[in-house]
A and B are shown apart, each in its own frame.
Chain A
């Protein structure tokens, strides 16, 4: 503790530097003179101080536009989303309005160029995800699904007509989408999916039958991007719309987590989907995997936003909470955990940033995204664990 406060004094109160150095260098005039000179220098040069909120100066690595996007959206999240989340989470309520609000802010499908979307960088998308998840993972889940799992496949794999029909309305948050890949019997192995799409040449439609589960947004979604196996054994994507006969989306109640976002199933009983709703530019699992990759990138950033919130909350709590006459933060174990949290979050953010830059500049490999997302989520879990025993998060 004494060492830590000494380090604190050295870093934060530079004018005391001379005193500390002089004390240590007692005895040699040369050393004292040298230290005095150093003090002079330090007093003149602008200081780069250690900031626990941004230890490796992520701020300095962002463009002015990215900083503005992040600041503007952070203000919105803290002012408009944060007040709602406590009750939304407690009562398992999904506030559909937030999708329209985010649409107004222009943060849905932000990396798409045209069609009413902002056309910004992947780093900006990451910053957006981080700010939303700072409030709640459920909200970020809603945003990720809309942007990466619904708008992205339509943009990447759809026809021009489909893009014109759906993207502007999705971008405004006027309609909400969901992504149907996982099935009750096939989670890790989507290639084993049982949902079938049969082509009817006479009506120019596909009949889809099957069920999907753990689908974010499905109970309230207006459209669904569903992946089904066709008669040639290949997986293709279809856009289903609310109101199509045989299409139903029961809600999954009683979740313990992500309670502020609605999760459900997609049940299809011979749903007639017009062939114009087929996503023609992709066949096989590369389609859904491309979407998941896109979402996973945002999730990596998001996990760190959540971790940061937990870290800041834990720090404040351990500073305020007094037990045995001293703040909890006085204990070395707490300090070590804080230091570890800070380190992991900072390093995680750096890797997310580099990832975003690589995607923007070079269009990157899967593997790196998978591993970054995995390690960032682990960091989030670790910092969640370090909250005090009062369960205060």
Chain B
């Protein structure tokens, strides 16, 4: 099968950064903080590029929704081997309330516009941990979904997906077009090599506004307050098993 694969990438705070809550508790500090591509999105890009290298897909188009800086994330994906990028401009208040529902509407609209056969996303973003965008996109398009994919193989009559689930591994076969979400063990993302980074400069990134796609960005959620998790309390040492049981009973745990 030959076609176009759409990959969604999200610009998030780098995993190694220590997160700090804003003094007004409205969110976390993002100014001046290092951002990079969501690790699961990297895995998604890698999978798409691999499919293209195996000549199973013709073109890899990478999409990101966000402010001007999202273009850096798109460039990184281009440096990994994607063919072109689409930057959906969302900034200011709209960006603060941008969530899986809005992004999935955008992706669904783009999938139709670009005539994509496959959408690959990371299973979740490391900033909000929603794990919803892939599922919502599939529902909006009425496409089958292969989520938590740890193995993907394109076959004549569909896509075989091995999913990582609580009980172990589940293998399913879904028809195309479809939405896949990448889990950790799907692949190991490549380092962007110098020549590819230089080539990425020449690749095109198109600018699109959500209104052009007919997408309404209003959020149905309102963030009331953001707090740090409570400080870890010191543990307690007990001498005997009876002590332990009585302490657990006191705390109402048993």
Partner-B contacts on A (CB < 8 A): 15, 46-49, 51, 64-65, 67-69, 71-73, 75-76, 104-107, 110, 118-120, 124
Q: Which residues of B contact A68 (CB under 8 A)?
A: 72, 75-76, 79, 192, 197, 200
Chain B contacts for A120, CB-based, 8 A: 194, 198
Between A and B, 19 residue pairs with Cβ closer than 8 Å are: A48-B32, A51-B32, A64-B72, A64-B75, A65-B201, A68-B72, A68-B76, A68-B79, A68-B192, A71-B36, A72-B193, A73-B191, A105-B191, A105-B193, A106-B193, A107-B194, A110-B194, A118-B195, A120-B198
* Contact A76 B72, beta carbon cutoff 8 Å: no
Tally of A-B Cβ pairs under 8 angstroms: 51
Docked pose: A65 CA to B194 CA in angstroms = 9
Residue of A nearest to B23 (CB): A15
Known pairs A15-B23, A105-B191; A65 contacts B197 (CB<8 A): yes
Bound-complex Cα distance A49 to B31 (A)? 10
Interface string of B181-202 (1 = CB under 8 A from A): 0000000000111111110110
Looking at chain B's contact residues, the main secondary structure is helix
On whether A76 and B191 interact (CB within 8 A), knowing A47-B32, A68-B76, the answer reads: yes
Shortest Cβ distance from A59 into B: residue? B34
B193-236 contacts to A (CB < 8 Å): 193-198, 200-201
How many angstroms from the CA of A104 to the CA of B193 in the assembled complex? 7
Contacts of A119 in B (CB 8 A): 198
Which residue from B32, B72, B79, B201 sits with its C-beta under 8 Å from A72? B79
User: Which of A48, A65, A73, A105 contacts B198 (CB under 8 A)?
Assistant: A65
Q: Is there an interface contact between B191 and A72, defined as CB atoms closer than 8 Å?
A: yes
Give the CA-CA distance A118 to B196 in the complex, in Å.
8
Given contacts A68-B76, A68-B79, A72-B79, contact A118 B198 (CB under 8 A): yes
Q: Are B194 and A75 in contact (CB under 8 A)?
A: no
Shortest CB-to-CB span from B122 to chain A, Å, is 18
**B38-51 to A contact mask, C-beta < 8 Å, 1/0:** 00000000000000
- Which A residues lie within 8 Å of B196 (CB)? 106
A64 cross-chain contacts in B, Cβ below 8 A: 72, 75
Residues on the A chain within 8 Å of B76, using CB: 68
Cβ of B32: which chain A residues have Cβ within 8 Å of it? Answer: 46-49, 51
Complex CA gap A105/B196 in Å reads: 9
Min distance, Cβ A236 to any Cβ of chain B, angstroms: 32
Contact A118 B194 (CB under 8 A): yes
Instruction: For the complex, give the distance between the alpha carbons of A68 and B36 in Å.
Output: 10
Instruction: Give Cα A76–Cα B23 distance, bound, in whole angstroms.
Output: 36
Please name all residues of chain A whose beta carbon is closer than 8 Å to the beta carbon of B75 when the two chains form the complex.
64, 68
From A15, A71, A106, B195 is in contact (CB under 8 Å) with A106
Q: Which of B1-30 contact A (CB under 8 A)?
A: 23
A73 — which chain B residues lie within 8 A by C-beta?
A: 191, 194
Nearest B residue to A121 via CB reads B198
Q: Which residues of A contact B195 (CB under 8 A)?
A: 106, 118
- State the CA gap A297–B83 with chains docked (Å): 35
Contact assessment for B79 and A75 in the assembled complex, using a CB-CB cutoff below 8 Å: no
Residues of chain A with a CB closer than 8 A to B200's CB: 68
B20 smallest CB distance to A (angstroms): 10
Shortest distance from the beta carbon of A301 to any chain B beta carbon, whole Å = 16
